[in-house]
Chain A
Amino acid sequence: MYGYEITQKVKELTKGELNITEGALYPSLHKLEADGLLDVEMVKVDNRLRKYYKLTESGTKETENKLEELQNYLQTMQSLIGKLA
C-alpha cells in the first residue's frame, strides 16, 4: 500500500473513527522502514512515481507482538478496574 491509500483505507475501515494525519503518517512509515519492519518499492503510476510499503517478515512478527502486548495491557487494565470498582 502507498501513503495516501493507507490514510483512506484506515478512514474507510474504521468508518472515520481513526484519522491518520499526513504529518504523523510519513514520519512513522519512514521510521518503520529504517527499522527494517517495512519493505519499499517505487513504481511508476500514471505520470509519477509511487512508493509502496509492505511488511517484512520481522515487521509481521513485530505486529503480532505489539497486538499481543496491547491485548495483555487491555486485559490487565480491565481486571484492575474490575477489582477497584
Chain B
Amino acid sequence: MKITEQQIQELYTFTAKHYVEFYDVQTELVDHLANGIEAQWEENPEVKFEDALRIEFKKFGIYGFSDVVEQKYNALSKHYRKQVYKYTKQYFKLPKIILTLFSFWALFKLLTVVENKNYIVIPLFVFLFVYQMWYLIFERKKRKKIKQLTGKDWLFQRITFELGGLVHCINFMLYVPDLLNFNNPWSLRYQIIFSIGTVLYILILYVGVNIVTPKLRVQAQKQFPQFKFI
C-alpha cells in the first residue's frame, strides 16, 4: 500500500505543527515518515495512517524534530561561515593580497594625515551601516518574494538573511567607539588596529553578500529546480 498525495500533504502539515517551518527540512522528514508508514503497511495493511504516523514520529525521540531542525540550522550556518572564511582567504593570496594590503595602508595613511578622525570614522561607519541595512532589507524582500512565489519558507533563506550568523557583527559595531577612544589622540597601535579591523570587516561583508549568499542560492536552486530562487 502506498501513501496518497493527500496523506503527503497531511505529513507536511504534521511536520509544520511540530515546529518544522522550513520546506527544505520538512521535505526530507516527510519522505522519511512516508517510508516508515509504507513499511508498516507492508507488514500489516490494517494499521491506520494516524497510528502508523504516531509510531514513526516516536522514533525521533522525546525532542521530536527539534534536534533535526536545530542541528541543520547550525550546520548550514557553519557551512556559510566556512565558505566566507574560504573566499576571504583568497584576499590574502596573490594577486588579491596587493589590493588588501593597499587598503590597509591607504586607511592607515588617511588616519595619520587627517587630524580629526571623525572625518574618516563617521563616514566609514555610516557607509557600513547603510550597506548592511540595504542587504537586510534586500534579503527580506527577496525572502518575501520567494515565499509568495513558492508558498513556502526556506531554511537557506534564513541563513543568507543572517549571513550565517555574521549579521551579529552589526552589534559589534556598537562597541567600537568604546574600544577605541575617539576623543583622545590615537596611538599608532590604535590606528593600525582600526585600519586592519575595518578592512577585514568590509572584506568579510563583501564576501558574504556578493559571493557566498548567491552561491548558497544556486545550491538551493540545484536541489529544488521546480522552484525559482534566482
Contact = CB atoms under 8 A, between A and B. Distances in A.
Nearest to A27: B71
A43 to B, nearest CB: 10
B78 A34 contact: yes
Q: B-side binding surface: helix, strand, loop or mixed?
A: helix
A48 B34 contact: yes
Contacts, number: 77
A9 interface: no
B189 interface: no
Contacts of A2: 31, 35
Interface residues of A, number: 25
Contacts of B67: 23, 27
A1 to B, nearest CB: 12
Given A26-B68, A34-B76, A48 B30 contact: yes
Interface residues of B, number: 30
Given A30-B72, A34-B76, A21 B4 contact: no
B184 to A, nearest CB: 45
Q: Name, among B4, B8, B59, B75, the residue most crowded by chain A CB atoms within 10 Å (CB to CB).
A: B75
A28 to B, nearest CB: 8
Given A21-B59, A26-B32, 16 more contacts: A3-B32, A4-B31, A4-B32, A4-B35, A22-B32, A23-B63, A34-B75, A34-B76, A41-B223, A42-B224, A46-B2, A47-B4, A47-B8, A48-B8, A48-B31, A51-B31
Interface of B: 2-5, 8, 27-32, 34-36, 39, 59-61, 63, 67-68, 71-72, 75-76, 78-79, 82, 223-224
